[in-house]
Chain A
Amino acid sequence: MTADRNRNPRRLAEALQAIPGVRTVTERNGALWVDAPLLQVEAMAAAMADLGIRLGTVTAIPHAGDAESTVIYHYIDEHRVINVKTCTRNGALASLAPTVRAASWAEREIRDLFAVEFPGHPNPVPLIRPDGIDTATLRAAMCRPAEVARKPVSPLASPSANNPARS
């Protein structure tokens, strides 16, 4: 599954650097990190397919100040993880699902939770969001600063819904 050329880290880094939109390729914490704010995601998918590297999953990190999100494509060549980090533009990124089947559920989940749109997705129906619930289920809650919630109440609960028994 993995092409032998991927065993050579220098050649792999060169191939990653050639993807349109890639700014830097660095190695840290045992993985390759590709910084590409203006990444052309379809070109990345084509390059990874050519290298025989599979898509593991996609992470979205919503930004607090606007409707944008950091999106990290986690590729796996079986011997290392390659993390390609980009950013949404107007809250959207082109869908990889038409050519990369593994992207389908990941993109649908991200759309449900963070309202990131993936134009071109062949089946953009909710994955984990029930009918009648808007997208961005977790966006606002996840944008709040990460801090320890001292009381064991759900961060989704509204202040008015506090349970007196817990106070």
Chain B
Amino acid sequence: MPYSFPLGPYHPALEEPFKVKVQCRGEVIDSATVEVGFSFRGIELLAQKRNWVEVITLIERVCGICSNTHAMTFCMAAETIAGIEVPKRAAHIRTIIAELERLHSHLLWAGVGAEDIGFHSLFMEVFTLRELVMDTLEAISGNRVNYGMNCIGGVHRDIPDPKRHLPALDTLSKGLAEIVIPTFTENPTALTRTRGVGRLTREQAVEWAVVGPVARASGLDIDVRKDQPYLSYADLGFESVVRPEGDVLARVVVRALEMVESIRLIREALLSLPAGPLRATQGVPEIPSGEATIRTEAPRGEAFYYVASEGGATPARVKIRTPSFVNIPAIEAMVVGQPLADLSIIQASVDPCISCTDR
């Protein structure tokens, strides 16, 4: 007999509030409806009540994981309106922080994913590696999250001794190559819980307009770093990671291999850090009337900002579309016909961020 029940908003798999209303027939899911909005904060409105510098601090709080993405993308929009070109050294430093943030995010996800399939020892291994990334971010910015690195026109902090951070990258590479990637891709427990589970076909990925690792795991070769290069990605070269299978395992593999590419990018950027200033302007630049749209590749996928200025002390409009806002609805397509027991790992495989979604 068909039955339904609400999973969430207080959630067994995630620390953030969202709800999946599931219709089941026996142990198999017939359909699901996702509900969000339990932690709406009105950040887009608040951005109209702060000056351009205060908004950077505000916007960085859209998300506790991809915080740098939001502050950086907002600054890029303001710079585009004002016609400010960021110095090469600042662009390199922004790239390094963005890729460290991707490592932080993907390792956090891998730990949560391991926990969701009951693989606690893997969770511990992953989080040990994640600490290396957090330590590196703290050494550069002074903060483990909300790094406060971005300002309009460049970055606040330098990386005075880039080679100091290379040993951490070596340890991280070794840990990924010897523990995390083999365990997720070869261990029978992990494979049983991920292979063929929660499939999203290429056609469905196009239909639901998903982005980031979710899209690339369904065979869509889209990545803003490659398609519309920004910061130093064109200089450093970039290879996107694409898998055709569309299941949870493919999403795991895409994120795992992206971490390898991120480490390469960080290493290259550290070793080729150009000399020069950190900021294009002194003081707080005036942002003239105008509007701009900016895309960046956040850890979870494309982040999109629309920013409008009327030449005043505060933005006239800030629109934020996070990757989770378009990826989370696709859970409804992924879970159909799947065992109820897999719901937790399927929704986790999207790496949903409710803080981002609700804003």
For A76, what are the chain B residues with a Cβ–Cβ distance below 8 Å?
A: 295, 302, 304
Contact, CB under 8 Å: A146 / B312: yes
CA distance A72 to B308 in the complex (A): 12
Asked whether, in the complex, the Cβ of B306 is within 8 Å of the Cβ of A59, the reply is: yes
Interface bracket on A: 35 or more
Contact B45 A141 (CB under 8 A): yes
User: Cα distance A126–B358 when bound, in Å?
Assistant: 13
The reply to whether A30 and B325 contact each other, CB–CB distance below 8 Å, is no
Expressed in whole angstroms, the Cα–Cα distance for A78 and B40 within the complex equals 29
In the complex, A55→B329 CA distance in Å?
15
Q: How far is it, in angstroms, between the C-alpha of A137 and the C-alpha of B359 when the chains are bound?
A: 14
Judge whether A121 is part of the interface by a CB distance below 8 angstroms. Answer: no
A147 touches B319 (CB 8 A): no
Interface size class of B (residues with CB under 8 A): 35 or more
Interface of A: prevailing SS? loop
Q: Are B208 and A59 in contact (CB under 8 A)?
A: no
- B interface majority secondary structure: mixed
Q: Are A148 and B321 in contact (CB under 8 A)?
A: no
Check if B48 sits within 8 Å of A79, measured CB to CB: no
Q: Does A142 contact B (CB under 8 A)?
A: yes
B132: Cβ under 8 A from any A Cβ: no
Distance between A86 CB and nearest chain B CB, rounded to angstroms: 15
Closest Cβ neighbor of B222 among chain A residues: A78
Given contacts A78-B227, A148-B51, A148-B313, contact A31 B293 (CB under 8 A): yes
Q: How far is the CA of A81 from the CA of B295 in the complex (A)?
A: 8
Report the minimal beta-carbon distance from A154 to chain B, rounded to whole angstroms. 8
Chain A hits for B45, CB < 8 A: 138, 141-142, 155-156
User: By the criterion CB–CB under 8 Å, are B314 and A147 in contact?
Assistant: yes
B positions within 8 Å CB-CB of A: 36-37, 40, 42, 44-46, 48-51, 54, 80-81, 206-209, 220, 222, 227-228, 290-293, 295, 302, 304, 306, 308, 310, 312-317, 319, 321, 325-326, 329, 358
Binding site for B on A (CB under 8 A): 1, 29-31, 54-57, 59, 61, 72, 74, 76, 78-81, 83, 101-102, 104-106, 112, 126-130, 137-138, 141-142, 146-149, 154-156
